[in-house]
Amino acid sequence: MMKLSKNVLLVLITIFCTQAFSDKLMIDDFVWTDNAKLDLLFQQRITPTDPPEVPVRAVAEFEPASAVIIRYPLGIPTSFVALLSQEIEVICIVEDTWDQNQAQSAFDSAGVNNDNLSYITADSDSYWTRDYTSWFIVNGNNELSVLNFEYNRPRPNDNDFPQAFAQNYNYPYYAMNIEQTGGNFMTDGYGIAASAHIAYTENGNNQTLVNTTMEQYMGITNYMVIQDPNNTYIDHIDCWGKFLDVDKVLIREVPQSHPQYDEIEEVANYFASTNSSWGYPYEVIRVYTPNDQPYTNSLILNDRVFVPQTGSSWDDEAIETYENAMPGYRIFGVTNNTYNPWESTDALHCRTHEIPDRNMLSIQHYPKFGNVDDELVSIEAIILALSGEEIYSDSTIVYYKDDSATNWEYATLEYQGDNLWSTEIGPFETGQMIEYYLHSADEHGNSEDYPFIGSAQPFKFLYTADNNENLPPAIDFEAITSIQNDQLPLEILCSVTDPENNLASVSLFYNVNGDSTSVFLSNVEDDIYSVDWDVQYNPNGNNDISYRIEATDDLGLTSMTPNYQLNLVVDNNDNQVNPAFGFSSLYPNPFNENLHMTFYAKENKQLIKVYNLKGQLVKEISSNAKIGKTANVRWNGKDDSGNRVSSGVYYLVLESGNQRDVRKVLMLK
């Protein structure tokens, strides 16, 4: 009887708090960020800690996992628990022995593998373990750690759980003083993360506070906070999008008749025009959700992907979408016929949470892509054994082949220090498409491929080195696709190289509202060419603007970039919103010879500091760009003494006035 009374009381409290929270989300005038009102709801607040040791890195969902955490009473079918337990440990939160006995009885009936089942006794308020059971980071001591935050729901037991979990399993524990929720966060493991807009609005719209905190506690140097396109109360990113890999993002798709069609397409276009951490735009995969099916609310556990099924005629197509997007992975559809079925705002991902392998063999590598014209191709990777065990040098290799070949060749990577491993492959025949993937193993017993799925989804690049034939000039250019009229003239800056022949010309070809013309770029230094383009636009209407760059050598060989569309935002009322402070582009990244940096100047003086992974200052670069103009700065990969720095990861810190922006780049030799 006491047990029943307690459950009834918890249900009543949950209903009351959920209703209050739902009302809060739907009433724009409710001042949710008022600290006094906030404290009334959050009677137990977490105690912030100091940030973790640097460098710190947030772990992505698609990295190696050792367990998944759920809660009893369940929000998922017991058959799904059995499926999970086939290959990974399932950790179930229970409140007491009575709960555990009830859970065990249900699990035994469903055929759950008890060898992969364990319990943690702790108070909880809900089964939404995604939202409250912490995020995971790797701190500067290479330890997998628990990161807590102020849970954005009035559920004090859920809010307390991460610290109890860390203590129970002996994890390093950190807590940051901002509100977050697990379902509204995804990261690529390389310093990029994405969330819907409540990441800001629930923290008083203090974007500087949120961005700085995410960087200090998680190593997030590029936080993409996006207006939620679904227009529902929940505002969680997993209801409409999901990182499938560092360079792949899944976005829901709806018919044009859907009320949120324009907003969802805008988000898809945003990612398609945004560079991933690997230096090229995201591959955007669309999954069709005409009736708001929760297909993006899926769970990745190593090489298995679990996708919610609703009984819709579009279920099979959703499974096929995942299969095409993630070759080599095993895709499972999961139906929920319990009293708590999947919903468009609450499905499989919301009710589970992967736990990364605390002894993982972590491999990070910036892949070669596009055209690669080096005769010997350098392959480098940062490899960390979080177990502390030694990495087998004879098992740290790169497999490679022409994409038409059957058998893989391999080369052993050599240790360079500071967790950096490298080798060279090639030469190949010009025009070959080369596929490759990395492999490593350690004495803890880990054996990992990278990409995680290995040969089923290898990296690819086109080998264009000149093997006894003349090739046209190579153009390295990062396109600018949007600009405001008060930023004109637009500086076009690119790198053009031709190791065998002399360049005859580098030109900008452009078309503005049907009028085409061209202008030469000037050689400003080394292989850098530039021109100030004063776009003659129509100030009273829409403008159709496109452009490209062409380079021709003295043999008449020509290369050109694609045609880029330029979106010109015209404001005739002198109330333009200036671009945000920080780096607008870093290219190429990874870089070899020169790194080009652009940013919007908000003060007359700017300073860029370059730090290595040990936190040592290696270079200071000053800039005196005028306020309101875009600054263009180059780093030649040398320290303040003029010596070439070693290969590896470096942090760029842009300082101007009291503002600061931090980015991560990879230097390759």
Active site residue 92: no
Task: Give the tokens for residue 139.
Answer: 């701190």
> Cα(172)–Cα(478) distance, rounded to whole angstroms?
41
Of 161, 212, 218, 234, give the one whose Cα is nearest residue 186.
218
What Å distances lie between residue 388 and 141, 258, 293, 542, CA to CA?
Answer: 10, 52, 43, 59
Cite the beta strand spans of 521-616 per DSSP E: 522-525, 528-533, 545-553, 558-560, 564-565, 567-569, 583-587, 595-600, 606-612
Q: How far is CA 150 from the centre of its chain?
A: 22
What Å distances lie between residue 517 and 494, 530, 535, 542, 549, CA to CA?
Answer: 19, 17, 11, 20, 12
> Cα(624)–Cα(214) distance, rounded to whole angstroms?
29
> Cα(517)–Cα(545) distance, rounded to whole angstroms?
12
Task: Give the tokens for residue 585.
Answer: 């582009």
Task: Print burial letters for 7-20: b (CB count within 10 Å at least 16), e (below 16).
Answer: eeebeeeeeebeee
Pair 455, 408: CB distance under 8 Å: yes
The residue annotated as part of the active site, out of 92, 239, 350, 494, is 350
| Coarse DSSP helix, strand, coil percentages of the chain, rounded to the nearest 5 percent | 20, 40, 40
Of 593, 485, 589, 491, give the one whose Cα is nearest residue 533.
491
| φ, ψ for residue 22, nearest 5 deg | -65, -45
The residue type at 635: W
Cite the beta strand spans of 347-386 per DSSP E: 353-356, 361-364, 371-372, 377-385
> Cα(142)–Cα(148) distance, rounded to whole angstroms?
18
> Cα(390)–Cα(442) distance, rounded to whole angstroms?
6
Positions annotated as catalytic residues are: 350
